Each structure stands twice: as structure tokens, then as C-alpha cells.
Amino acid sequence: DAGVIQSPRHEVTEMGQEVTLRCKPISGHDYLFWYRQTMMRGLELLIYFNNNVPIDDSGMPEDRFSAKMPNASFSTLKIQPSEPRDSAVYFCASSPFFVGASQPQHFGDGTRLSIL
Amino acid sequence: TQLLEQSPQFLSIQEGENLTVYCNSSSVFSSLQWYRQEPGEGPVLLVTVVTGGEVKKLKRLTFQFGDARKDSSLHITAAQPGDTGLYLCAGAHRGGSQGNLIFGKGTKLSVKP
């Protein structure tokens, strides 16, 4: 089975530009998560979806960030306008639903974003 | 906000040595997961511990969940260069949303040949 697929793997752009990160979760997984990872702050949850519905977006840093999940097989994270402090590795993860124990999360390989 | 603190932050050892890394919190977690992340890749799940006092072994890796379910440790016996990576612990909060995990900042392990 294919894992979580993220694109692009690397993105370098100038501040002020719109950035769109893409994610295809594992088929059949009901949960999708967007994380940001930096040396200073570690892995931070930005937002997560259950059955395509956003459940918790309290980690989204500002209104410049938005995320959508139009269907079960695709999600986007947009930053507009981008700023140098947004530079980080952005991960998408998905997990199956089951009750009674925490769910394993399956991560993509990330998008390394550099805002100049 | 519940925090998971991991220690040490960095660890550099020689091949063959033993080591233990820690994951501590003031909060109770219903379960705790350990992940390993290699450069340029996403974290990969190693193990999930659920019961207080539980011990799980994965080859040379031994994971323990504290009796009060507030802390956990990972012990590696006879470390090898292939063990190099960032080790992350993540807790699921009892009563919280089923989807949400709280991650620590990780322990970066380097095993030199």
C-alpha cells in the first residue's frame, strides 16, 4: 500500500507569495493531520480533520494559514501571504479510526519550505 | 496545554553502548507512542503503550510506561549506527479528542561506529 504522499518535497519562494502544500492520505483512513516541525518548537499540530471535517484548528498560527479537505483522498494547506518565519518542514499524517486506544499516525515525508 | 518533556535533548554515543531516554509529563495519558524519525523522512511509529507499568520489547529496544501513566522510557541495548535518529514520544489524553496526540520535542541520538 502507498503511504501518505506529500508534494512538493521542497519549496523555496519569496516572502509574500502564496504557498500550497498538498497531501494524499492513506486510503481508508478517517483522520488527517497537518503538522509543522522546527528545531525550536518541535512538531506542532496545526489542524486535523475527521471524515473531511476540520475538528481542531487551534494550532493554526494566523489567518494567513488555511487548510481544506475537499474529499477523503486530498488535502491542502495554504499560506498567503508567506513570511520567512513560516520556514519549516510541514508534515501530513493520517490514521485509521478505532475506539479504545490511541491511533497510530502514518506520516508523509514532509515538505521542506523555505521563505526568502 | 499539556507538555511532554523529553531528555536528554541530544545524545552521542559509541556503537555497543546502552542508553535510556525519557519522556515526562505532569499529565496522565491514556496511552503513549514512541516514534523514530530519520533525516528527510517523517516519524515512524515504533510502539504504543497503554497500561500503567507496561513493558514492551522490540528487539534491542525496551519501552516502559510509568505506573501513573505520566512518563515513559526507552532503553536501547548495544546501540548500533542504524539506531541513529530523532526519537519522539507522543501522548493521547484521556477524555480528549480521539484523534489528537501531544508530541515531545524529541531526543536526537547519534551512534558512532
| pLDDT given at position A73 | 96
Q: Answer yes or no: do B100 and A93 touch at CB < 8 A.
A: no
| DSSP 3-state of B36 | strand
Average pLDDT value over all residues in chain A: 92
What mean pLDDT comes out for the span A76-81?
97
Residues of B engaging A, defined by a Cβ cutoff of 8 Å: 30-33, 40-45, 48, 50, 88, 90, 92, 97-101, 103-106
Q: Between β-strands A5-7 and A53-56, what pairing exists: parallel, antiparallel or unpaired?
A: unpaired
- pLDDT by 10s per residue, chain B, length 113: 558 999 999 999 999 999 999 999 998 888 899 999 999 999 999 999 999 999 999 999 999 999 999 999 999 999 999 999 999 999 887 655 555 788 999 999 999 99
A48, A60 Cβ separation under 8 angstroms = no
pLDDT tens figures, A14-32: 999 999 999 999 999 999 9
* pLDDT at position A57 over 80: yes
State the best of B58, B98, B107 to mutate against chain A, taking most chain A CBs within 10 Å: B98
Q: Grade residue A44 by pLDDT with cuts at 50, 70 and 90.
A: very high
Cα–Cα separations (whole angstroms), residue B39 to A55, A92, B33: 30, 16, 20
* CA atoms of A113 and A100, how far apart (whole Å): 36
